[in-house]
Structure 1
């Protein structure tokens, strides 16, 4: 009987450490102090684009310069992954391999200017992080605990 009482007492003590009370957690939004503005420029040669006519080449250069500008923005936001390998044989450099990649999602970028200069097509983009913050707040709100009330 004494053994059963001790087990019951230990069980009650361990249960006391668990959450026996209902609680209400109040959250407050956390807004960053500053929002950077990022700029990117993409360029593409017009004459090197495949196409039967000059207008097709210009359209392809427009698209290529825009994609290049987005790549540059993604590079600024997410960074660039660099993979490299080098082999040595008898203290002489052999195979050098080097590759880079950028991966990410850019939301809220604006095309500021798009224009042709000589044989190149240029696209300028702008990314306002305040707008990006508001876009992500709707989906993934950043919050901190404001207060906890136990009942």
Structure 2
């Protein structure tokens, strides 16, 4: 004697479960039955970026003129790095204005830049006039790309083989 439950027999319930599992597993089968080959993407041209940073000598904190000159050299290098970061990552600009009775009461503008610069080299550091120091930097994007590849390994699909 077969037990009937809601119009289905035990045998038909078992068949339904087996069919559902079969369909579910066959749907997953396509995930495990292919092989994807990847290749790296390389741009056609690499630009070379240049930046110049400036710093006043007399405004630097230091005990004597020599110390102030060294501080200005460092500050001008940092300013050149900031300019390179602007070229690579762009600059974030925030603006704010306030009006009262249709009269502008407050006007604020704030700019910032953030990023990591790797592979830049100092081309030249030199005094400009009597009170300014300048540093020129160069960033070869081919070197940046090579440094990036050594850590990130960007990929794209080269070929897909289905089994």
TM-score by length of 2: 0.86
Hey, what's the Cα distance between the residues in 2 that align with 1:84 and 1:132?
Answer: 32
> Structure 1 residue aligned with 2:25, among 9, 15, 28?
15
Q: Calculate the aligned-residue CA RMSD, in Å.
A: 1.4
Hey, what's the Cα distance between the residues in 1 that align with 2:25 and 2:104?
Answer: 66
Where structure 1 has 5 or more consecutive residues not aligned to the other structure, the ranges are: none
| Aligned-pair CA distance for 1:76 | 0.6
TM-score by length of 1: 0.93
Question: Paired residue for 1:60?
Answer: 71
| Aligned-pair CA distance for 1:22 | 4.6
State yes or no: 1:88 paired with 2:106. no
Instruction: Please list, as runs of the form range in 1=range in 2, the aligned pairs for 1:1-151 lying within 5 A after superposition.
Output: 1-19=11-29, 21-118=32-129, 119-151=131-163
SS in 1 for 2:28: coil
Give the greater-gyration-radius structure (CA): 2
**Structure having greater relative contact order (Cα 8 Å, sep ≥ 6):** 1
